[in-house]
A and B are shown apart, each in its own frame.
Chain A
Amino acid sequence: MRLYVDNAKCSGCNACRVACSLNLFGENNPKKAALVIEPQFPAPGVYNVKVCTQCGDCAAVCPTEAIKQDEQGAYYVNFDECNLCEACVPECKEEVMFVRSELANTAWKCNLCGDCVAVCGTGALWIAETEAVAA
């Protein structure tokens, strides 16, 4: 399972990011969300959204094994075990592995909680089985 996005449907409202920070940290702070919205304005007038594909590359390089997999297959960060080494950040091709030590004492990423999908009014986000990528 993973999170999917249709950029064409995103309206840039950021409700997903508030919901995300609330789930991950119990805070109202979209800067601590695990997905990114990049507005492309005034031209071409679209939003680029970056979401986690649950590929697990971050977990593979984590020296403290702080990034674990839950029963639905989602990788999540066990905050207590993260040492802020940032090894995971460059591994993430989607650029949604975060270390911002001024904001949090841990790395963070999408744990596939689904709260972003619950608040998205335009249907831009959804969770589905990971599609096999053609070789």
Chain B
Amino acid sequence: MNGYGGKILRVNLTDGTVTKEPTPPDVARDFIGGRGFGIYFLLKEVPRGADPLGPENKLIISSGPISGMLIPGGGKCDWTTKAPLTGGYASASMGGHFTAEMRYAGLDSIILEGLSPKPVYLFIDNDKVELRDASDLWGKNTFAVEKQFKERLGEEFQVAVIGPGGENLVPYACINHDYGRQAGRGGVGAVMGSKKVKAIVVHGTKSIPVADKDSYRKAGMAIYKACKDAEGLKDWTRYGTTIVVSWCDEVGALPTRNFSAGSFEDGKNLYGPVMREKIVITDKACFGCPCPCGKYSRNKKYNNYVEGPEYETIGLMGSNLGIDDIEAVAQANLLCDDLGVDTISTGNAIGWAMECYEKGIFTKKDTDGLDLKFGNVEATFAVIEKIARREGLGALLAEGVKHASQKIGKGSEKFAIHVKGMEQSAYATHNATAMLLAYMTCDVGAHHNRSWAITYDLQVGRDKVVPEKVARVIWLQNFRPMFDVLGGCRLQWVELGIDRDLYVPALEAITGIHRSWEDLDKVGERIWNMTRLFWARENEGFGRAWDMPSPRFYEEAPKSGATKGQITKLEDVNKLLDMYYEQRGWTLDGLPTPETIESLGLKAVVA
């Protein structure tokens, strides 16, 4: 099949069997790949009520038709599962070189099912696929394991590995790859840990067939040229995602001290140029990317190397913890990666604990003797380790801020910053209604990547609650995740302003199927509704209440910074939801109506 590796690899960990089946052409036509394949298989194959860490849950790893191709950014891999963090849908996007290698081994998806009785790793070398004993790797940190595989098997093998966080089933454990790229959010690492799969190693030497070679080469080259000609290329490549730290600080979007404000008085010490000057040594790219956002750093203060920190980690492990030392943030980043926990959720959990401590809800008795004030770097390092190992305070924080705050009470639920149980990524949403709505309705919980609408807030007026804003959020939610469906990266479009129409002839030349962006946005809309239906299927009483943000954004105005005294009224939060549901064709309780399901052709899928 043109544009595909052609096979789905199914790994049954309970009985140790591996089987391959052809990638179904109708699924490829309707869902294309990546996160489209993920939700298709999740809805179809994971039974209602499955325990996220039990044998019925599956981990669905998918590439897409532009992965591994001559298309800028074709290095994204989708990891879909039922999330241990939220009990709903999880889809984590991992950069690097893994997805391309899967395709060269002839695989479009790898589906892990069942539970292994003992630690194993999945070995894939073209058609040779084996589950191998990993007893000697269990308990090890991610960098050591990746290095061991690279030394043993060679640089051509790509490695995805979990750390102690995943082994200990921390519900926000991540999967690490390429010394610094992660499938970060929702707890995909815990699902891999529950299945006792320490690592997946893959190597392939096959070619990916395309429908029209000449048109494909021409279309691919045209996108590379557009990237190279883009005005923003130089600065973007120099700073990567850290380019937005200063902007966020200025407009009040930089999470500060557990999102109590959006500007950090010492924020300038964390700005992109400071980091570049101080620690960055190499620009590190995902597969096929001409505008590498990965900044690889030599951290002299702590004597080590780390990829990053990138913006989200600077926000959550820096300003959100009151830390203004970029080298300390880089060290926290490294600890999280090496231990295998998501920096975003971990930064939130520590920020929440610091606020509990400063408010007297926690004493040193609760913090294992740590002086857990905002800004305490050493305590931050210690807590990261405790979370990954579920020790002391870490056992509580490892449950995520929603459950931890419910357990502790005393008003701490009000400053647990999450939606649907997923901790909020690094955009403070005080008086930024489009971005707030984007977080409220994001299909994995409070994550930014589906709809990065904060620039739109500034463009049209941040407190405006108007249908155009809602329409913008919905358009972004349908369109942006299409890059996760195609197996590619959205940042060429977001950051360099590449015309998205350039991808249309490329995709057609690869797959042989013409799809306009109108068609693709429709696929995005269909997938969005499928993920919503999955949430509803898995959670009794799912609806509007699940879309509410942290009260911090409608009850307490920041006392300092660019958004000082600014707040979104609860009435406006509800108005946003009313408009959103109406435009989506959902009920006032936030569920797709039968007519919407019918019009999107989803009747069979949800039956």
Contacts and interface: CB of A to CB of B under 8 A. Distances in A.
Given A22-B217, A42-B179, A13 B237 contact: no
Contact of B305 (A14, A28, A45): A45
A11 interface: yes
A28 B206 CA distance: 8
A32 B208 CA distance: 12
B227 A18 contact: no
A45 B289 contact: no
A118 B155 CA distance: 25
B289 A13 contact: yes
B282 A11 contact: yes
A31 B156 contact: yes
B70 interface: yes
A6 to B, nearest CB: 12
B305 to A, nearest CB: 5
Interface string B217-242: 10001001101100001000100000
Interface residues of B, number: 45
Contacts, number: 106
B155 A13 contact: no
A12 B305 contact: no
Nearest to B143: A42
Nearest to A31: B205
Contact of A122 (B179, B221, B290): B290
Given A29-B104, A121-B224, A39 B155 contact: yes
Given A28-B210, A31-B104, A119-B224, A11 B294 contact: yes
A43 B305 contact: yes
Interface in A1-45: 8-9, 11-15, 18-19, 21-22, 25-32, 38-39, 41-45
B207 A18 contact: no
B70 A119 contact: yes
Given A31-B156, A45-B296, A45-B305, A11 B221 contact: no
Given A13-B290, A22-B217, A38-B155, A46 B285 contact: no
Contact of A18 (B286, B288, B298): B288
A103 interface: yes
A18 B224 contact: no
Contacts of A39: 155
B55 interface: no
Contact of A46 (B143, B282, B286): B282
A42 B305 contact: yes
Given A13-B289, A122-B237, A42 B147 contact: yes
B104 A12 contact: no
Instruction: Please list the 10 inter-chain residue pairs (A to B) with the smallest Cβ-Cβ separation, ordered nearest first.
Output: A121-B290, A13-B285, A11-B285, A27-B207, A11-B292, A29-B207, A28-B208, A119-B224, A11-B283, A31-B205
Given A13-B292, A14-B288, A47-B282, 18 more contacts: A11-B289, A11-B294, A13-B290, A19-B70, A19-B221, A27-B207, A28-B69, A29-B104, A29-B207, A30-B100, A30-B104, A38-B155, A45-B282, A119-B70, A119-B290, A121-B227, A122-B283, A122-B292
21 contacts: A11-B284, A11-B292, A13-B285, A13-B287, A13-B290, A13-B292, A14-B100, A15-B70, A15-B224, A15-B290, A28-B208, A29-B205, A29-B207, A32-B207, A39-B155, A42-B147, A103-B205, A119-B70, A119-B221, A121-B228, A121-B291
